[in-house]
A and B are shown apart, each in its own frame.
Chain A
């Protein structure tokens, strides 16, 4: 277990198979943490690769920070993490908002990223303030329900309180809402600066991000998409073995 100071925040980092020649960095999504990958997908990948996982600021065991949740800032933190770990070139697998952070990093520093795997990437211009304000209760309910269903818990107790507390912190005590508004330019950037890297898009068939899949396929000339029936936006939790197999085949 390591904590690294990245651009002013204490960031929780975990690594597996540090002797491997090639590195995969895994980025989780909003309102979750590195455990989305840690116990299954990361271990499968670590049989072949060095795997780096980190908790985004204010998530998991990383320090809570008042600002800087836009993609530009968070991609900068990813690149600063690579610097701190002396990683010159890596593969990246990002989930949900983590996929957008990966994509932004590929635009910012294309020479540092080989292949991109984007799991359940949403449309950046749909992540606006109204999404999170309007669906705040639904978002919290879904997070809690997912957690309770996975961990077979009643929706009460210390663990669930922590989810609510973290969500409240992000939504009420940080610049998170305003920062999301600053992500709209990503689509224009993708049109202006074509990302020609191999990109793998993974989605559950029942995802609410289908339109993002079609949009990214149109914008990324070397992208391919794989769909998993019976899964939705919670794809890495619902189908970890399928995701692992897809990633191993893509990164080979």
Chain B
């Protein structure tokens, strides 16, 4: 499996732990899904997701810190693919 696909699958697993696997299935989530608008994560779910992602990848990537350096507009337009790229590259480059 390509690295991006593998990370996306792992992130989906973590997402299911936060919002529930049934919600993940219903939302038809893709790498282009926006966390707030498409997945409808609320603020506390985003906090829990940030903590989960940090537990898994925190040795090499500080996900909450990355989010904290973004203006709110950027956080609200964050796509799943942005998180995948951050995990792989440390930023959102493709």
Are A43 and B64 also in contact (CB < 8 A) when A153-B36, A158-B23, A158-B40 are? yes
A150 an interface residue at 8 Å Cβ cutoff? yes
Q: Which of B48-94 contact A (CB under 8 A)?
A: 48, 50-52, 55, 64-65, 67-70, 72-73, 75-77
Tell me the complex Cα distance, A157–B34, Å.
Answer: 14
Chain A residues with CB below 8 A from B55, complex form: 1
Inter-chain contact A151/B76, CB cutoff 8 Å: yes
Most buried by B among A14, A36, A55: A14
Q: How far is the CB of A227 from chain B (nearest CB, A)?
A: 22
Chain A interfacial positions (CB closer than 8 Å to B): 1, 14, 16, 33-36, 38-40, 42-44, 55, 60-61, 147, 150-153, 157-159, 162-163, 237
The 30 sampled A-B contact pairs (Cβ below 8 Å) are A33-B44, A34-B44, A34-B47, A35-B43, A35-B46, A35-B47, A36-B43, A38-B47, A38-B50, A39-B64, A39-B67, A39-B75, A40-B68, A40-B72, A42-B68, A43-B64, A43-B69, A60-B44, A60-B47, A147-B43, A151-B36, A151-B37, A152-B36, A153-B36, A153-B37, A153-B40, A157-B40, A159-B36, A159-B45, A163-B42
